[in-house]
Amino acid sequence: MIYALGAFDGFHLGHQRLLDKARKLGAANGEGWGVITFANHPQTLFNRENFRSLFSDGERDLIAGYLGIPKMIKLPFDRMLANMSPSEFVDFLTIKNHVSGLVVGSNFCFGRARTGTPLDLALLCEARGWSLEVIEPCMIGGETVSSSAVRNLIVRGQIERGTALLGYPFIISGKVIGGDGRGRKLGFATANLLVDHWKVYPARGSYAAYAFAGEKWRPAALNIGYNPTFDLARRLRCEAHIIGFEGNLYEKEMRLFVFAKNRDEIKFECEGALKAQLERDMRNIKNLAEGYMMDNISVFRGFESLF
């Protein structure tokens, strides 16, 4: 088996180059291919209080399905794995898996204290009779595509640039929980999603998204913030109005595919001013959504096939 090897927090366009190479090598050699990654990002062990993943484990599985990854091995990144020498780590890969070749990025580091480099990996692979392909970074508009770059863009609310590096919309998923009902009173009922405190969320504001609800894709107005108009929320809230949908989503799992920022979070003087702004938001988001769907129909069809 040929395996692309890495942390893969996001499967962005740079990662997708590794997947493509592994796929082609597997086909050329008449064998399968897959991904070896970690069940938890290494930074959750070394920097747990400050690190936030781009995607939850379930979201990453969904993206893997969309990208057509046939096999994904997730290694638990714990102290035992972190303390392995580069040679021990490579041997560990073969305990339960047949490996004939690896594909890694040129910045790949492994083993205790990240002391193993691609050059070290090349020697270890040669000793075991494995092939090794080292892929150079992907550049878009003079910017290196990396999980860190995507993460920084998302947390600043620069969704359009972040999704350009991902190659698909940013995904937020969660169980729909009860809210305070103010959205319904204003004429814009919202589905409130349970916030994952170990995941990256965009900066506070209003965003354009899509949700698959009622057996079809529907535009969604997503709000992330603290409801400053009513001074109600002491914790981050993530709530979405699914435009044109009137069914019950309570206790169901919702996935939002976020693709553009609409505006910053605003504190309004009264409910009337808020309602007027929400009406403008819906018009703008519907216009944004129509154009985005037309340009990315194959992406949405790919994800829809997995639901």
The last residue of a domain, from among 139, 159, 186: 139
Give the domain-ending residue among 123, 139, 155.
139
In a domain, 186, yes or no: yes
| H or E element in which residue 217 lies | strand 216-225
Query: Is 71 a domain residue?
Result: yes
CATH assignment of the domain containing 102: 3.40.50.620
> What is the chain's alpha carbon radius of gyration, rounded to the nearest angstrom?
21
Judge whether 203 lies within some domain. yes
Instruction: Indicate if 293 and 173 belong to the same structural domain.
Output: yes
Name 221's bridge partners: 208, 241
Do 250 and 207 fall into the same domain?
Answer: yes
Residues 126 and 196 in one domain: no
Say whether both 7 and 106 belong to one domain: yes
Q: Is residue 47 part of a domain?
A: yes
The whole-number pLDDT of residue 235 equals: 81
Tell me what pLDDT residue 232 has. Answer: 60
Whether residue 178 sits in one domain with residue 76: no
What pLDDT score does 8 carry? 96
CB distance 253 to 165 below 8 Å: no
Please check whether residue 18 lies inside any domain of the structure: yes
Torsion-angle region of 214 (φ positive above 0: left; ψ -120 to 50: alpha; else: beta)? left
**How far apart are the C-alpha atoms of 33 and 70, rounded to whole Å?**
7
Same domain, 135 and 173: no
Which long-range contacts link 137-146 to residues 24+ away (Cβ below 8 Å)? 137/14, 137/105, 137/106, 137/107, 138/12, 138/13, 138/14, 138/17, 140/13, 140/164, 140/165, 144/14, 145/12, 145/13, 145/14, 146/12, 146/14
pLDDT value, residue 17: 98
**Cα–Cα distance measured from residue 208 to residue 256, given in angstroms and rounded to the nearest whole number:** 10
Same domain, 134 and 193: no
For residue 163, is it within any domain?
A: no
| CATH number of the domain where residue 215 is located | 2.40.30.30
Does 220 lie in the same domain as 127? no
pLDDT of amino acid 233: 55
Domain residues for the domain of 219 are 169-304
Residue 44 lies in a domain: yes
180 and 297 belong to one structural domain: yes
Q: What is the pTM of this model?
A: 0.94
Residue 24 lies in a domain: yes
pLDDT tens across the length of the chain (307 residues): 999 999 999 899 999 999 999 999 999 999 999 999 999 999 999 888 889 999 999 999 999 999 999 999 999 999 999 999 999 999 999 888 899 999 999 999 999 999 999 999 999 999 999 999 999 999 998 889 999 999 999 999 999 999 999 999 999 999 999 877 666 666 688 999 999 989 999 999 999 999 999 899 999 999 999 877 766 657 889 999 999 998 889 899 999 999 999 999 988 877 888 889 899 999 999 999 999 999 999 999 999 999 9
Q: Looking at the structure, do residues 196 and 282 belong to the same domain, yes or no?
A: yes
Tell whether 116 and 242 lie within a shared domain.
no
| pLDDT the model gives residue 183 | 65
User: Do residues 25 and 88 share a domain?
Assistant: yes
Q: Residue 231's pLDDT is what? A: 62
Please state the domain count of the chain.
Answer: 2
Q: Where are the alpha helices (DSSP H) in 1-105?
A: 13-28, 43-46, 57-66, 79-82, 86-93
